[in-house]
Amino acid sequence: MPHILEPDLILHGAKVVTVDAAFSIAQAIAIRGDRIVGVGSDAEMLALAGKNTRKVSMGGRTIIPGLIDVHFQFFDRAAAQYFGAHVELPDCVEDVLRAVRAAAARLPKGSFITCNPGWYPHMLREFRPPTRAELDAAAPDHPVVLWGEFHYLNSEALRVSGITRDTPQPEFGWIGKDESGEPDGVLYGAAIGLAHPGWKTYTDDQREEALRWASKQMLSMGITSLRDPKRTPAEIRLYQRMHRQGQIPFRLSVQRFIPSQGTPQKVLDLLREQSPFTPLGDHRFRIDRAGYFYTDGGYHRMKISTPYANSVPGIPNDGKPHFELEQNVKSLTEIVMGMAQMGFTGSIMAAGDQGLDIALEALEAADAEYGIRDKRWVLAHVIYPRPDQIERIARLGCVVTPMWHHYYYYPTQEFYHGRQKAQSTEPYKSLIDAGIVLAQGTDVSTIPLNYFPGYYFTVTRNTLRWGPANPGEGLSREQALRTMTINGAYTTFEEAAKGSLEPGKLADLVVLSDDILEIGDESLKGLRALATMVGGEVVYRAADLGIEL
- Tens of pLDDT, residue by residue over 494-505, are 999 999 999 999
Pairing of strands 347-350, 292-294: parallel
pLDDT band at 118; cut points 50, 70, 90: confident
pLDDT band at 229; cut points 50, 70, 90: very high
Q: Please indicate, yes or no, if residue 100 is contained in any of the structural domains.
A: yes
Q: What is the mean pLDDT of residues 325-344?
A: 93
- Tens of pLDDT, residue by residue over 147-159, are 999 999 999 999 9
pLDDT band at 317; cut points 50, 70, 90: low
Q: Please indicate, yes or no, if residue 490 is contained in any of the structural domains.
A: no
- The pLDDT score that the predictor gives to residue 396 is 98
- Tens of pLDDT, residue by residue over 371-427, are 999 999 999 999 999 999 999 999 999 999 999 999 999 999 999 999 999 999 999
Q: What's the number of domains the chain is made of?
A: 2
- Checking if the pLDDT of 324 tops 80, the result is no
- The pLDDT score that the predictor gives to residue 4 is 67
pLDDT band at 255; cut points 50, 70, 90: very high
- The pLDDT score that the predictor gives to residue 185 is 97
Which of 178, 200, 222 represents a domain boundary (last residue)?
Answer: 200
Which of 137, 170, 200 represents a domain boundary (last residue)?
Answer: 200
22 and 81 co-located in one domain: no
- The pLDDT score that the predictor gives to residue 261 is 81
CATH of the domain at 17: 2.30.40.10
161 and 107 co-located in one domain: yes
- Tens of pLDDT, residue by residue over 464-476, are 999 999 999 999 9
Q: Could you count the other beta carbons within 10 Å of the beta carbon of residue 467? A: 11
Q: Which domain holds residue 88?
A: 74-200
Which of 200, 217, 240 represents a domain boundary (last residue)?
Answer: 200
Coil vs helix vs strand at 45: helix
40 and 125 co-located in one domain: no
Q: Please indicate, yes or no, if residue 30 is contained in any of the structural domains.
A: yes
92 and 177 co-located in one domain: yes
Q: Measuring CA to CA, how many Å separate 393 from each of 117, 344, 432, 479?
A: 30, 18, 11, 19
pLDDT band at 301; cut points 50, 70, 90: confident
DSSP secondary structure string for all residues of 516-546: TTTS-GGGGGG--EEEEEETTEEEEE-TT--
CA distance 210 to 235: 14
Query: Are 215 and 82 a contacting pair, CB within 8 Å?
Result: no
Q: Measuring CA to CA, how many Å separate 498 from each of 142, 501, 506?
A: 46, 8, 5
Q: Please count the residues of the chain.
A: 549
- The pLDDT score that the predictor gives to residue 320 is 53
* Lowest-pLDDT choice from 301-315, 333-347, 356-370, 517-531: 301-315
Q: Which of 508, 547, 549 is nearest to 249 (CA)?
A: 508
- The pLDDT score that the predictor gives to residue 5 is 83
Q: What is the mean pLDDT of residues 87-97?
A: 96
- The pLDDT score that the predictor gives to residue 316 is 60
175 and 149 co-located in one domain: yes
Mean per-residue pLDDT of the chain: 95
Q: Please indicate, yes or no, if residue 50 is contained in any of the structural domains.
A: yes
38 and 142 co-located in one domain: no
Phi-psi region of 104 (alpha: psi -120 to 50; beta: other; left: phi over 0): alpha
pLDDT band at 323; cut points 50, 70, 90: low
Q: Name the phi and psi angles at 358, rounded to 5.
A: -60, -45
CA distance 122 to 126: 8
129 and 148 co-located in one domain: yes
CA distance 62 to 529: 10
Query: Are 275 and 338 a contacting pair, CB within 8 Å?
Result: no
pLDDT band at 276; cut points 50, 70, 90: confident
- The pLDDT score that the predictor gives to residue 260 is 84
- Checking if the pLDDT of 257 tops 70, the result is yes
Distance, first Cα to last Cα, the chain: 27
- Checking if the pLDDT of 289 tops 70, the result is yes
